[in-house]
Amino acid sequence: MWPLVLMLAMVLAGCQTSLFKNGGQQADSTQNSTDSAQQSSTNPPPSVFNTPKKPVGNYKASKVTGTYAGKKSVNRFIDTMVKKHDFDRRWLNGLFSTVQRQNKSIRLMDRYAPSKKKKNRPADYVGQPGRGSWSRYRRQFINDKNLQRGTEFWLSHKSTLRRVEREYQVPAHVIVGIIGVETRWGRITGDYVVLDTLSTIAFDYPRRSAYFTKELEEFLLMSREEGVDPRTPRGSYAGAMGLGQFMPSSFRKYAVDYSRDGVRDLMNPKDAIASVANYFKAHGWKPGEDVAVRANKSGSAYRKVKWGYSSNYTLRELSRVGVKPRKKIKTNEVSLLRFANYKSDEVWLGLNNFYVITRYNRSSKYAMAVYQLGEQLNKRVRPAKSASRESLLVLGES
């Protein structure tokens, strides 16, 4: 997924819009009777939608014209789509004749590309974190305005969240946290034509060409299966769509028509909420288990070992470097998570469900922001439930 779009994409008026411009019910605060009848046990699985239809859009040309006229990589891609997926060549020629290069997408990809010094580093680099880096990152997402907006979103869709939590066994606060970090609950979803952004990066940005060529293939299949014009969907500068910012491949695998209107529309909160839950369930979410546990630290030995969501230690190994959990945990294998505040480090132990959150975005900071934002919203919306168990969230710096 693509959380950087939060700071860069065009701000939309709200989430009362369809990804495919075809409406659909949104808020559910007054629809309890309707919601009760719409059980996901009868909801068609995503495979029901993966049936080829006739592509939508009056596109037809003997060859590609315009921006990508004569470009060999475009013609090779069209050959693949014709041979592999039985698309009409003239239709594809006409469609790609409409594509406009998005130079801003390339600039933004460059801005966030790894520097030459960092190109061989793993996704979770284990060097010394910058002083205050976690404090600054966390403040982007966990602040008074976002807590108010997240509370409003939760209360507006509490019926859907309650049902999805029960049916998918993924906590509501984690779902709301994801949507908040990704798009501020639909306020920042991007207004780029997805076909244009994916094509631009696939054909004009060699460093990420392979990945985005595959996503462009998935996008055209998605458009055909969903019965939408490929020029209609809008999203981030990198092609992510909807409240949860799904890339096309994730859309095809995990998007759910929870509103039961025959369309998987990730600008519809019902579909978006269930789709995020479905994604987590498919990636191994363990119901009822913690996400992360705060740890005490002593000495400085912990600073010299690998840390991040991909690290793996036994509790005994961590004890040897001065790290011990603040509460008992069931598992003996954890990741070591280190977050730099201005005064000192926060040290946490990541569990299976923390790792599952990183499948959405491979960043320890991202996953912790999702977790802590969700925890704070949970305490606001369900204070009694939150107070009934030990809070894992420690505010401020220690």
Q: Active-site positions?
A: 182
Tokens of 1: 């997924």
The token pair that represents 76 in the structure block:
């090779």
Q: Is the Cα torsion angle 364, 366, 367, 371 positive or negative in sign? A: positive
CB atoms within 10 A of CB 390: 10
Which two tokens mark 368? 């912790």
Token pair, residue 274, equals: 């269930």
Q: Which of 231, 197, 192 is nearest to 212 (CA)?
A: 197
CA 164 to chain centroid, in Å, comes to 17
